[in-house]
Structure 1
Amino acid sequence: MTTLRDVTTDTVDETRAEALRQELLRHLRGQGNVVNDHVAAAFAAVPRHRFLPDTSLDEAYADDAVITKLNDRGHPVSSVSAPWVQARMLELSGLGRGMRALEIGSGGYNAALMAELVGENGEVVSVDIDPEVTDRAQRLLAETGYDRVVRVQCADGTYGAGAAAPAEGFDAIVVTAQAPDLPPAWSDQLAPHGRLVVPLSFRGIHQVFAFGCEDGHLRSRGQTRCGFVGMQGDNRHTGHTIDLSDGDLRLGLNDDQHADADALRAALASATRTTTWTGVVLRNDEGVLPSLDLWLVATLSPCARIYASSRGVERGLSGWTIAAAATWEGGTLAYTTIRPATGGFELGVHAYGPNREQLADRLAERIRAWDSGGHRGSVEPTLRAYPAGTPVDQLAMGQIIDNRHTRLVISLP
């Protein structure tokens, strides 16, 4: 399947587009995001600019996401993901010739890449809840000839492909929106040998996991970092946030987590703080912070994310404005911070409340254990997903996260 044969357009633009496409592929190869030759061939074949007609060629072939729709509040609700993310997810999917695949979250371009992987004898079903998104995807796929392989339907992806799901299941299900849970339909519609690739959120972590079937549950088989717009429909994000200091510091909790908001606010208001520095340095461009986040969730309870505003950083509440790992106990709160160090940034812990020294030491000890125990960026925790209500004695050992549809268990291998 070669898209450029299907459409006659301006020769000069198409020649430049081809050059930019090859440049993007070299970049993806060089970064290690594309390893599989079949994935490389897909990126070489699909004209990304045809799925982003309102952007310039340079924007279309930049290794960055492009927002395609905003909601009434100006928040992104649909996008064409960054190529490096799509490449990593397709590598994890294991898609090949003649396979059947389900995409949850339409945009057109990713479905076309999947179509290249499965070939003319394969099948791709692309589902999205937004009729504007599916109409746009259907139109662009038809214009580029990929509608021969891709079938687009407007439906809530929480329920997979519905009646369009093959009886033997999909060889791969690729979710292209941030999901807070794994609905039963996804595992039910997955072939026994198949892969579910999904950007999953829990305890403030946002990572792509590739799951396979194992003894009545799902087990992670690979993962990568990510960033996606949130799912809509019945699997949209829930949880709640506690404001701890006039909007400048907030604690984000899942539905199965609880904290004494008044006690924690009082601790912050006291302005009495302990800061413990760990001696652990994040080297510039090392990219191991997601590994630390997973390690802390797997080995520390409770664990969530603290969010600081720019003003909160100016007030000295936090060392960064992005999410930091946090733990709490009664009216005591501890969370990670950073300061400049030779070659990078040193990790530390801020703690407030009556037991601040003990809780700061506990969090700092977990960070040092990650650094010294051979886990730093090389040993990733395993994530398992069991049906909700599974008795504890039938779960693997590890930290349990209770969601609406699943009991997630995250543990060290």
Structure 2
Amino acid sequence: MTQAPDATNPDLADERRAAMVDRLVADGWISGPEVEAAFRTVPRHLFVPEGTPLEKAYDADQSVVAKAGPHGVSMSTVSAPWLQAHMIAQAGIAPGMKVLEVGSGGYNASLLAHVVGDQGQVVTVDIDPEVTARATAGLGAAGYGDRVIVVTADAEHGVPAYADYDAIVVTVGAWDLAPAWLEQLTDGGVIVVPLRMNTFTRSLALRRSGEHWVSTSAQLCGFVPMQGLGARKERRLQMRDPAGGVVTLLFDETEIDNPHSLAGALEHGPVHAWSGVTIPDQGEFGDLHLWLAGFLPGFCRVEAGPGTPMAAEGVCRTWFPFGAVLDDSFGVMELRESDLPGGDREFGARGYGPHATEAAEALVAQIKAWDVHGRQIPDDAFAYWPAGTTIPASDAPVGQFHKIHGTATITWPPVS
């Protein structure tokens, strides 16, 4: 069991927990009285690493790293309370349900156990024995040790011994849906999964519709990646900038035919292109990333290392900096201040390489297309088609993300 340094002060812990829940209720994340009661009851500070202040343990917006791997990379976290509350709402967790949690930390399993009650059942599975040991200790300290079954195993296989489940809640970043998860759901069951689609993740609530699965809600989020058989690493291509430093292109689903052709790309450019598409200063454009991830050939993320001109100019300081490869060249999105109607900043791109202009213009063309088709994706726009099912033709734009066990799709509104 781990405790924060001020955890011996129960009144202060209760005070912090009450303030956290009040905030979750006020912001609309709490979906009902059973969920609110769970958050008001379960002591989150018992599940975070020793030395974590109560203020941080009960911060509604903050996740807490529970285990770090090499180079400080997060291997396990206690997710932010707002996101845990939202995923419980996405799954429609209610008294009497049988729930499988993929990815253990203990706190979320306790919340689930509190909501499903004595007539329900919660099973949590994780591949890391250190993580499941910590979860077991926290569950015992919080009084939920006999209400949650903790399993140490590769979650790619689910937990068939206790199936079928009314809901599966995946609390690690998944690149694909394991067939076992879908097979172990009841006929009317729901899976909530943070699904990675060509770099970008949404927490999707998916329900069966015939031979495929359709979303009922979607939420932008981030999670530590899946380990074991379901793991999928990004591929990295590093390029030395003649002016100093290294620029790295990171690819998820994109395949590059001849990566060596990009070796001298940074010797040419940058060439700039602007779209005329704007956003307010604090405006969100997360769905633009998904449009480009689905429709822009050669899509990738871009990291500008220390000492590069791109880093000095702040090009890659935008939220999730991205670009695309075009043969021996590539483009990178950028923003500039704008006096155009409708926004404070204008989207554009800069290109590098022998075909820098074409690379920048290809990116800008897709930014304009996103603007035409609507900036926000409806909650029911996502779907998952298991291998062997037919994806029907559509008059609307459909982004496809090809996985091992199936294909994820996003259907955008057609132009009216």
Residue of structure 2 equivalent to 1:7 = none
- Cα offset, 1:333, TM superposition: 1.6
Residue of structure 2 equivalent to 1:227 = 222
Contact 2:98 2:165 in 1 (8 A): yes
| Equivalent-residue separation in structure 1 for 2:393 and 2:213 (angstroms) | 12
- Cα offset, 1:124, TM superposition: 0.5
CA displacement 1:157-203 (0-9 Å, x = unmatched): 111113222xxx21111111111111111111122222211112221
Note if 1:280 corresponds to 2:298.
no
Q: Please list, as runs of the form range in 1=range in 2, the aligned pairs for 1:25-64 lying within 5 A after superposition.
A: 25-52=21-48, 54=50, 55-63=52-60, 64=62
CA displacement 1:316-363 (0-9 Å, x = unmatched): 483426532322332232221123447753321112234433443332
SS in 2 for 1:34: coil
| Equivalent-residue separation in structure 2 for 1:377 and 1:383 (angstroms) | 12
Note if 1:318 corresponds to 2:315.
yes
Residue of structure 2 equivalent to 1:347 = 347
SS in 2 for 1:49: helix
Q: 2:300 aligns with which of 293, 299, 304?
A: 304
Q: Please list, as runs of the form range in 1=range in 2, the aligned pairs for 1:108-257 lying within 5 A after superposition.
A: 108-165=106-163, 169-245=164-240, 248-255=246-253, 257=255
Residue of structure 2 equivalent to 1:74 = 72
| Equivalent-residue separation in structure 1 for 2:8 and 2:135 (angstroms) | 26
RMSD value over aligned CA atoms? 2.6
Q: 1:290 aligns with which of 286, 293, 312?
A: 286
CA change 1:396–1:73 in 2 (3 A) is farther
Contact 1:249 1:317 in 2 (8 A): no
SS in 2 for 1:139: helix
What amino acid does structure 1 have at the position aligned with 2:276? G
Question: Which runs of 5 or more residues in structure 1 are unaligned?
Answer: 1-9
CA displacement 1:4-61 (0-9 Å, x = unmatched): xxxxxx9982222222112111222333333434322221121111222622221211
Per mean C-alpha deviation after superposition, the further-off stretch among 318-327 and 112-121 is 318-327
CA change 1:284–1:115 in 2 (3 A) is farther
CA change 1:12–1:266 in 2 (3 A) is closer
| Equivalent-residue separation in structure 2 for 1:129 and 1:396 (angstroms) | 39
Residue of structure 1 equivalent to 2:12 = 16
Contact 1:294 1:380 in 2 (8 A): no
CA change 1:220–1:379 in 2 (3 A) is closer
| Equivalent-residue separation in structure 2 for 1:241 and 1:290 (angstroms) | 23
CA displacement 1:349-378 (0-9 Å, x = unmatched): 1122344334433322322333354x2236
| Equivalent-residue separation in structure 2 for 1:365 and 1:205 (angstroms) | 20
How many residue pairs match? The answer is 396
Q: 2:258 aligns with which of 257, 260, 264?
A: 260
| Equivalent-residue separation in structure 2 for 1:193 and 1:176 (angstroms) | 21
| Equivalent-residue separation in structure 2 for 1:207 and 1:19 (angstroms) | 32
Residue of structure 1 equivalent to 2:3 = none
Contact 2:315 2:334 in 1 (8 A): yes
Per mean C-alpha deviation after superposition, the further-off stretch among 60-69 and 70-79 is 70-79
What amino acid does structure 2 have at the position aligned with 1:408? A
| Equivalent-residue separation in structure 2 for 1:19 and 1:326 (angstroms) | 46
| Equivalent-residue separation in structure 2 for 1:255 and 1:376 (angstroms) | 23
SS in 2 for 1:196: strand
Contact 1:320 1:337 in 2 (8 A): no
Contact 1:203 1:305 in 2 (8 A): no
Residue of structure 2 equivalent to 1:384 = 383
Contact 1:320 1:338 in 2 (8 A): no
CA displacement 1:129-160 (0-9 Å, x = unmatched): 11111111112212222123211111111111
- Name the TM-score, length of structure 1 as normaliser: 0.87
| Equivalent-residue separation in structure 1 for 2:119 and 2:225 (angstroms) | 32
| Equivalent-residue separation in structure 2 for 1:78 and 1:329 (angstroms) | 36
Give 4+ residue runs of structure 1 displaced > 6 Å after superposition: none
| Equivalent-residue separation in structure 1 for 2:393 and 2:321 (angstroms) | 27
CA change 1:12–1:241 in 2 (3 A) is closer
Per mean C-alpha deviation after superposition, the further-off stretch among 257-266 and 336-345 is 336-345
CA change 1:314–1:50 in 2 (3 A) is closer
CA displacement 1:200-230 (0-9 Å, x = unmatched): 2221112212211122222222111112111
Contact 2:254 2:300 in 1 (8 A): no
Question: Which runs of 5 or more residues in structure 2 are unaligned?
Answer: 1-5
SS in 2 for 1:311: coil
Per mean C-alpha deviation after superposition, the further-off stretch among 396-405 and 15-24 is 396-405
